[in-house]
Structure 1
């Protein structure tokens, strides 16, 4: 299952939290022209480095499929950043 919601939570140095909810599907639809260009660039890169394009696409699909449930936590001093993929 592809991710549906990405939550970005940031704790400011003053202790307050700021949350941002990003729905994946609308963002994906808005950025689809850029994704087509990125896919074309990926195919060109696969040709240059002599890598199987289908294998690279399969690997990217597996990575996308494994994202739901992933949490990235970064803490630097009094500022913290949490990214949660659902």
Structure 2
């Protein structure tokens, strides 16, 4: 299943908390023109490093498929960030 929502929660050093919801599909649609540049660049990078483009595409797909349910937290001093992918 492709991720649908990314939730970013962070606590600033002054103690205020914020929550940001990022829907993946609309952001992907807005950024899709950049995909037209990224695909040829990825193909050139694969050929330059002698990596199979099909294998690289399959690995990217597997990574995206595994993202839902992922959570990671970063805490530095009084600032904390939690990212959750659903």
TM over 0.5: yes
Question: How would you bin the TM-score normalised by the shorter chain?
Answer: over 0.9
SS of the equivalent of 1:36 reads: helix
Provide the TM-score with structure 1 as the length reference. Answer: 0.96
Distance 2:54 2:73 in 1: 32
Distance 1:46 1:20 in 2: 35
Distance in 1 of aligned mates of 2:72 and 2:40: 29
What RMSD, in angstroms, separates the aligned Cα atoms of the two structures? Answer: 0.7
What is the aligned length? 86
Report the equivalent of 1:17: 17
Segments of structure 1 that go 5 or more residues without pairing to the other structure are none
Unaligned runs of 5+ in 2: none
SS at match of 1:31: helix
Q: Does 1:56 align with 2:64?
A: no
* 2: CA distance, partners of 1:36 / 1:55: 19
Aligned: 1:47 with 2:33: no
Query: Structure 2: how far apart are the matches of 1:39 and 1:77?
Result: 39
